[in-house]
Chain A
């Protein structure tokens, strides 16, 4: 969908044709849901957060100033909604350094599977939501670093540093787990 097509749909919605909004929802739902899922790590909650975000975006469509892409504006709402949803759950923010012990118990049973992907998947949970999200957005390759920065409310340089640092940590975690697995064999 081109920016012009998007703006034409937005104009229709603003003119009172709310059914036209379904086109935007259909087009962006997967990405919005993925984004919410990366923050919340729970499909049901992510779905609810993504839906809430679409409804919020609809009600604030007038305030979209068209200086950035609609998707960037929308994903910023999805991100904020997901983060606030996570806060309501009262899950403490856990930086990776303090969280190794938290996943050990779950990881023990998986150590025998020799699956790097699984290890990384688990290690991903030890990252905070901003790092996890920045990484995911970066690899989904739909947004530039500047746009990712806009979505997450960070500076572009910060996003880059976070992406680098998160990958380093995941690599370290992967190595640690593989070494541990080798010792248990």
Chain B
């Protein structure tokens, strides 16, 4: 920086940060004495600089560490956002509703038999006969409904209840 060149903001800030070399510092000192505009700008930048020099670290609440430690083993479900969870919940309940309606309509009342010998692949590659497997459609649908209800409870717990209680607990502690 030349002696008669007006220092830039960047040079003035470097001066405040103490990162200028002695020649640059001398040139800025000279400009501060001889140029009112530079002195004024330096004053403005110095105000900001001093503001930040008084900056201190903020302290969180007293039980901060305790709460972190309590939450260490609390694993949140990252697979479902509350929105996705609710969508899944609605889907599961809808499936359960349809299954219950079909059950009530008596669609699964008749016992069926699964005859493996009717499969083309079996006829083509096997010489012996396979047994016919009887199955109770009503029982299977009932099991699916129970599994869906259990899934619905898990989704409700992870995506709605747990986050809600965690938020409530945080509000009370703070």
Given contacts A33-B58, A55-B68, whether A167 and B45 have CB atoms under 8 Å apart is yes
Given contacts A25-B68, A29-B65, whether A139 and B52 have CB atoms under 8 Å apart is yes
Give the interface of A toward B (CB within 8 A): 18-19, 21-22, 25-26, 29-31, 33-34, 37, 43-44, 46-48, 50-51, 54-55, 58, 116-117, 120-121, 135-136, 138-140, 164, 167-168, 170-172, 174-175
| Closest chain A residue, CB of each to CB of B45 | A171
Which of A54, A136, A140, A168 is B68 in contact with, Cβ under 8 Å? A54
The answer, yes or no, to whether B49 is at the interface (CB within 8 Å) is yes
Give the interface of B toward A (CB within 8 A): 9-10, 13, 41, 44-45, 47-49, 51-53, 55, 57-61, 64-65, 67-69, 71-74, 170, 174
Q: How far is the CA of A175 from the CA of B37 in the complex (A)?
A: 13
Considering the complex of A and B, which 5 residue pairs feature the smallest CB-CB distances, nearest first? A139-B52, A33-B60, A171-B44, A30-B57, A34-B58
| Interface of chain B: mostly helix, strand, loop or mixed | helix
Query: Can you add 15 more A-B contacts, CB < 8 Å, to A50-B64, A120-B47, A164-B13?
Result: A18-B72, A21-B69, A21-B72, A22-B65, A33-B57, A34-B58, A37-B58, A47-B64, A116-B47, A136-B55, A138-B52, A140-B55, A140-B57, A167-B48, A171-B47
